[in-house]
Amino acid sequence: MQRTQRLTLLSALTAAALAGVAATAGAQQEPYPQKPPAPVETGAVDSTKHVMPPAAGKPADTALSRQPGVNPAAAPAPTGDLLDLNTATKEQLEAVPDIGTAYADKIIKGRPYARTDELVSKKILPNGVFAKVKDKLVVQQK
CB–CB of 108/93 below 8 Å?
Answer: yes
Which ranges of the chain would DSSP assign to H, the alpha helix?
3-25, 63-66, 90-94, 101-109, 118-121, 127-133
Asked whether 108 and 119 are in contact (CB, 8 A), the reply is no
Residues 132, 94: one domain? yes
Its domain, for residue 63, covers 40-73
Of the residues 54, 73, 92, the one at which a domain ends: 73
Give the tens place of pLDDT for each residue, 51-68: 555 555 555 544 444 445
- Asked whether residue 127 is assigned to any structural domain, the reply reads yes
Check whether residue 69 and residue 87 sit in a common domain: no
Query: Does residue 47 belong to any structural domain of this protein?
Result: yes
Q: Does the model's pTM come out above 0.75?
A: no
The domain tally of the chain equals: 2
Quick check: is 48 in a domain? yes
Residue 123, in any domain of the structure: yes
In angstroms, the CA 110 to CA 106 distance is 6
- Tens of pLDDT along the chain (142 residues) come to 677 777 677 677 777 666 665 555 555 555 555 666 666 555 555 455 555 555 555 555 444 444 455 444 433 334 458 999 999 999 999 999 999 999 999 999 999 999 999 999 999 999 999 999 999 999 987 6
Answer with the one of 53, 73, 93 that is the final residue of a domain: 73
> Does the residue 118 lie in any domain?
yes
